[in-house]
Each structure stands twice: as structure tokens, then as C-alpha cells.
Amino acid sequence: MSTIQQQIQLLREELNNHNYNYYGLDNASISDYDFDIKLKELEKLETENPQYFDANSPTQRVGGEITKNFETVTHKNRMYSLDNSYSKEDLLDWEKRIQKKLGSDDIEYTCELKYDGASINLTFENGKFIKAVTRGDGFQGDDVTTNIRTIKSIPLLPKGDYVTDFEMRGEIILPLDGFHKMNEERVANGEEEYRNPRNTASGSLKLQDSAEVAKRPLDCLLYQVVTDERKYKTHYESLENARIVGFKVPKTIALAKSIDEVFDFVNLWDSKRNELPYETDGVVIKVNDLQQQEELGYTAKAPRWAIAYKFKAEQVSTVLHEITYQVGRTGAITPVANLEPVQLAGTTVKRASLHNADQIEKLDIRINDTVFVEKGGEIIPKIIVVDFTKRSADSELTIYAQNCPECETELIRTEGDAKHYCPNEFGCAPQITGRIQHYISRKAMDIDGLGGETVDLLRKEGLIQNYADLYDLQVEQVIPLERMAEKSAQNMVAGIEKSKEIPFEKVLFALGIRFVGETVAKKLVKHFKSIDNLMTADFETLISVDEIGDRIAQSIIDFSNDLGNIQLIDRLKSHGVQLEVSAESLENQTEKLEGNIFVVSGVFHQLTRNELKKAIEDNGGKVSSSISKKTNYIVAGDNMGPSKLAKAETLGVSIISEQDFIDMIS
């Protein structure tokens, strides 16, 4: 190593140490002036010797790189949502559920404040930071690595002994002091103030110039380590060690032996949250033991081992001026309250959902009423109650809409449905646009270069009336549209063409069959293998599929019997859209385990728990999270819970090893 290279390396190490002391230990070991002098010295050496460039050098935190388009990246490990709770009863119910699944009441919890910012996933390989991706829809997000490098509280090279390859999850926040200072500067410059810290932090991540991001006092509070390395036994231990090596893990995290101790934590911070330097809207409670987390697993949307307790939302009073009605892609009608604008939780609220006719009747809400509004989960505004003391004597009862506000078709409401519907499926503009927007969405066909506004424009211009029409679009047809350049038109058509590669399970979800969400679509695809098999299945065949009930089955039959839908499917087939399971996928699937229910428990060495579960499903078996009389096998790894073992022995369930299972399917 040359003398210059050694000098550069030593300066980098020294500056990283100072960053660690300042942000990780909250103990500055050098003045800001001296730090800046050393940083400039390093910058000069790196400029003169570009062969020694390192993306994780302290000099790279100042930004300067321009990102025109943020690439969409699929998460290696899905970023799930959290289930919410609002009372002690909710938490007690959650505790009962997890105790039942674990077969034990010996559970320790961690309590962490729920930070109000933008979720981020940081990837480290060989102990070095390599990538940062926003949460997005949980399955994929935007690569914002260049901007994240500018946040000084994120260690690019964690110090000390920690796991080697891992993902660190956290929340990008804008501390209140920094937010207020930014607004003071904007006011002084005659600019409009930012509305709230959360939106400002989120918007900062998508700025094209990373030098502008570097100027903002963003911070990153971390809350989860995701790794295949089994170095730590508990969530708390993994975070405490993350703090030691330089990650900013808030010291407010606490252990709790019971729900009563959890509520002590909740009550403490509900009263003290206004003293915090950043915004928080609740507490996240997690099962501390990592093996128990694995045992509990996930629902379709959230981990079973974690829950968010939301603090009581802020409420404000305002006046209802008008009730209007929105039409969704399925024809569902949603009444909307149009309000006198009012400030609520940092944003201006003008509208709130009234959900359905029953809710309007329950609230007895009327035009010109004074109402109290809060943000449900501090996100979606909703009306809580009417202030009847301020109601005028001549107020009139609200009569729910009888006809569709868009196409004037008479609304229907079937027995058991909470909402009214417009039955004009193929002639109602919002339904047409909504179905196509759903079809192109990220979780469905994920078509690049095509957004909701463009879909609406294409429909209004008469170029599309359904999602099959997308595949007939030509570049020359699209170029004349408003705000559409040749390159944009080419990208759109190319994105539509590429969607033909999307697998059948996502296509089925994209079709927008009522009640067929992502999870149901996967189950149907696994069973029927093709759209033809699905659309020719009778009611009894449909309800025989695991977790497919009467309502879903009838919806599929209604879709399959509609001539317009049959024609749409035929057109999609002719365009080469994937409407059956690919031969490649079928190669890896067998029926060896057909009819058998498995429970996976313990720690494994040859396969991960997720790989085991996938292997069971790929070979026709079903995975269950709890042992019952119906369970055929338990695949038992190391440290299987004693209560599960006892229950299995009592019920006479076969217990097999990881190797036994591999032999079973090989």
C-alpha cells in the first residue's frame, strides 16, 4: 500500500471514528471546525488520487450526485405492515392469540416508540453499506442509496463485532428543531412553509440532487435487524449490539415481562411524547425472543409477533358543507364529507370518508352540522361525532344517493353488503378507469411508464376502454397526447409489452375479480393452474379449495359467466399474457405431500424456515402455524418449544427431522 493510500485510509478511519462517537455514542470527540478541516484534507487527497475512490468514504456524505429516475427494487425480505390496536383490550386479545399459537404464556416483549417518518431498508454486505430502498408497497420500493449516504447518523462501515450480511430497517425522520429551522429559513426567503416533518422527510428522499438532501438535518432511527445469521437470541439483544457498533437505536426501547408492563410504557410516553425531539404516534410491541417470532410467523399483511398501539388521535371541530359520492373500480359507492378546511395533525383537512349509508344513519349527520374530525391511525381523516348542540332547527335528514353520480344508473345494495353499488360495470367512467389503474398497479402487472392520470387521459381520448386495449396501443397513437413526448410513449408501450412476462398469480389479482386479493389469487392459481380451469369450475369445486368461501366462489362464477369478461380474457390470451402457471414453475411442483398438513418448528440448518414452508407447498402440502388433530407432521428443528412437543405427543402427531423431510420430497 502506497504512502498516499495509507494516508487516505487513516483519515477515513479517523473521521468514521469521530462520526461514530458523535452520532452513535452522543459524545463528540472533536470540534466541528477540526472535523471539517480533516474532511477537506481527505477530499483533496481523494480528488488528486481518484484510483482510491470508495463509495463509503466520509467525503461522500456531502452529496452532489444527481438521480433523474429512482430505480424500483424488489425487497429481498418483504417489509410488512403492522396491525394496530387502540385499547388495553386489543393488546390482551393479541397476547391471547400469540400465547395460543406458541402454546406458552412465557413471553417477553420489547416496547419501542413508533417513529413518524419514512420507512427505509438498509442493506449491508460484508459489513459495508451497499443499498437503501424505501418501503414502497412492502414488496418493492425505490433505490435512494445516493441520498441516504448523506445522512450522517447511518454508519456506512459499522464498527466492531456484528453480523456480516444483514438488512437494517428504520425510519428516516426530520427532528422537530431541524424542521422548524428549515421553515424559518423558508419564511425569511419568502417561500411557503413545509406542512409537517413526516412528509418533508419522505419528500427529501426523492430529491434528485443529493447535495440538497445533505443540507437537510435528516436522521435515521433504527428498529429491526433482518439476517440469516443466528448470532443473537432476542430482538432487544440485536438492537443493543447494533447501537454499540454505531447504529442510532433510540434508548427509549424497553423490555416488558407482561402486558401490564407494556401499558406502563404506553402510559409513560403518552404523557411524555411532547418532550421528544421528534414526532411519534404510538408504541410498537414485539415478542422479544427471535425463535418465538419465527414460530409465530406472518399473516398476509403483518407479523403476528408485533402490534402497534396508537395514541389517541388529535380531534378538531369543523363544519360539514356537502356530501358527495365517489365511485370505486368495483362500482362501490363511498360517501364523502366536504368540510370547512381545518388544520389537523400537521395537515389541512377538507374531506373525510363517511364509509356507507349505515354510518351516515348511525351518526345522524346532516348538511351544515358541526362535527368532530380525527385522523384514523393519524392518516385518514374520519368524522367521530356530530355536535348536536350546534344543529339548526331547520336541518334536514340526509337521504342517501339513489343514482350513480357519474352515469346516473340506479344504485343497488345486495343483502349483507355494507355499500351501495353502481351495476354499470362497462359504462361507468370511474369503474373503467379504476379497473385499468388496478391492473397496471405495482402489486398487479407493475407496468412502467404508465400512471393513473395517463390511464384516465387514454380513456378520455377513446384509446382504451378496458385493460385488454392496452396491448393494442401504438407509440404513434400515444405521442400526440398532452405532456407525452416520444421517449415517454416508447417507455409506456415497452412497459405494457414487458407485462406479458408477469406470472399468472399476479395477473389473476390484476383482473380485479371482486374479493380476489393477492392471497386468494395465489391459492386459486396453486389449485387450478390456469384461467380456463378456474372459469369453468362450479360452485362446489371452488368452495372445496382451502380458504375459499361462498362469497368468493360466487364472485368468481359471476365474473366467469359475464360475456364481456370472457371476451376480455380471450383478448389477453391472444396478446400472450400469462394466464396459466408456467411450465418452469410446474417443473418444481409435485403432489407428493398432497393432503398432508405440516407444522414447522425450531431452528434449522440446511434450509431456512421459509424455504421449508415453500418446499411443503411446492409438493402439495399445507403449512399450518399451530398443532391440531388435523396436523400430519411436525418438522422439528433445534430448540423446538416444549409445549409444542408435549401437544404433538398428546395428539399422536408424527415428528420428523429436517433431513427426514428432505428425504420425503427427494
Q: 514 and 461, same structural domain?
A: no
Q: 198 and 101, same structural domain?
A: yes
pLDDT of residue 195: 77
Q: With 80 as the cut, is the pLDDT of residue 32 above it?
A: no
Report if pTM > 0.75.
Answer: no
Tens of pLDDT, residue by residue over 55-97, are 777 777 766 667 778 888 989 999 999 998 988 899 999 999 9
Nearest to 548 by CA among 490, 580, 508: 508
The set of cell numbers assigned to 70 is 429512482
Q: 572 and 601, same structural domain?
A: no
Tell me the three state secondary structure of residue 364: coil
The answer as to whether 348 is a domain residue is: no
pLDDT of residue 499: 96
Mean pLDDT of 430-439: 94
pLDDT of residue 64: 63
Tens of pLDDT, residue by residue over 138-168, are 988 999 999 999 999 999 988 888 999 999 9
CATH code of the domain in which 91 resides: 3.30.470.30
| CA distances, 499 to each of 136, 490, 526 (Å) | 20, 14, 21
What letters, b where the CB count within 10 A reaches 16 and e where it falls short, cover 460-480?
eeebbebbbbbbebeeeebee
The answer as to whether 126 is a domain residue is: yes
CATH code of the domain in which 11 resides: 1.10.287.610
Q: With 70 as the cut, is the pLDDT of residue 22 above it?
A: no
Distance CA 347, CA 638 (A): 51
The answer as to whether 516 is a domain residue is: yes
pLDDT of residue 346: 67
Q: With 90 as the cut, is the pLDDT of residue 356 above it?
A: yes
The single-letter DSSP state of residue 580 is B
Q: SS3 string of 22-68?
A: HHHCCCCCCCHHHHHHHHHHHHHHHHHCHHHCCCCCHHHHHCCCECC
Q: With 60 as the cut, is the pLDDT of residue 329 above it?
A: yes
333 pLDDT band, cuts 50/70/90, is: very high
Q: With 80 as the cut, is the pLDDT of residue 383 above it?
A: yes
When divided into structural domains, the chain yields a total of 5
Query: Which of these three, 473, 501, 529, is where a domain ends?
Result: 501
pLDDT of residue 325: 96
Mean pLDDT of 197-216: 90
pLDDT of residue 247: 94
CATH code of the domain in which 644 resides: 3.40.50.10190
Q: With 80 as the cut, is the pLDDT of residue 362 above it?
A: yes
315 φ/ψ angles, rounded to the nearest 5 degrees: -120, 145
The answer as to whether 339 is a domain residue is: no
Least confident of 53-67, 334-348, 548-562: 53-67
What percent of the chain stands above pLDDT 90? 60
401 pLDDT band, cuts 50/70/90, is: very high
pLDDT of residue 624: 84
Distance CA 505, CA 631 (A): 27
pLDDT of residue 63: 61
Q: Can 114 be counted among the known catalytic residues?
A: yes
Domain that holds residue 49: 3-62
Q: 103 and 9, same structural domain?
A: no
Number of other residues whose CB lies within 10 A of the CB of residue 162: 23
pLDDT of residue 62: 67
Tens of pLDDT, residue by residue over 606-657, are 888 888 988 998 898 988 877 888 999 999 988 777 777 888 888 999 999 9
The answer as to whether 531 is a domain residue is: yes
Query: Which of these three, 263, 282, 310, is where a domain ends?
Result: 310
Mean pLDDT of 250-269: 95
Q: 542 and 494, same structural domain?
A: no
Distance CA 131, CA 145 (A): 5
The answer as to whether 564 is a domain residue is: yes
pLDDT of residue 6: 84
Q: 233 and 146, same structural domain?
A: yes
Tell me the three state secondary structure of residue 245: coil
Mean per-residue pLDDT of the chain: 90
Number of other residues whose CB lies within 10 A of the CB of residue 248: 20
Q: 462 and 553, same structural domain?
A: no
| Pairing mode of beta strands 219-226, 254-256 | unpaired
Q: 622 and 580, same structural domain?
A: no
pLDDT of residue 661: 95
The answer as to whether 189 is a domain residue is: yes
Nearest to 205 by CA among 278, 167, 149: 149
Nearest to 523 by CA among 488, 543, 544, 548: 548
Q: 247 and 99, same structural domain?
A: yes
Mean pLDDT of 477-501: 91
Task: Judge whether 365 and 398 are in contact, CB under 8 Å.
Answer: yes
Query: Which of these three, 453, 473, 501, is where a domain ends?
Result: 501
Q: 276 and 246, same structural domain?
A: yes
The answer as to whether 328 is a domain residue is: no
Q: With 70 as the cut, is the pLDDT of residue 128 above it?
A: yes
CA 440 to chain centre: 18
pLDDT of residue 379: 60
Amino acid identity, position 204? S
Mean pLDDT of 185-213: 87
pLDDT of residue 267: 94
Q: With 70 as the cut, is the pLDDT of residue 23 above it?
A: no
Q: With 70 as the cut, is the pLDDT of residue 376 above it?
A: no
Q: 520 and 492, same structural domain?
A: no
Distance CA 502, CA 656 (A): 37
Task: Judge whether 466 and 436 are in contact, CB under 8 Å.
Answer: yes
Task: Judge whether 256 and 244 are in contact, CB under 8 Å.
Answer: no
Instruction: State the catalytic residue, choosing from 114, 248, 644, 647.
Output: 114
What percent of the chain stands above pLDDT 70? 97
Mean pLDDT of 380-402: 92
Q: How far apart are the first and last CA of the chain?
A: 51
CATH code of the domain in which 449 resides: 1.10.150.20
Q: 657 and 606, same structural domain?
A: yes
Tens of pLDDT, residue by residue over 578-602, are 999 987 777 778 888 988 999 998 8
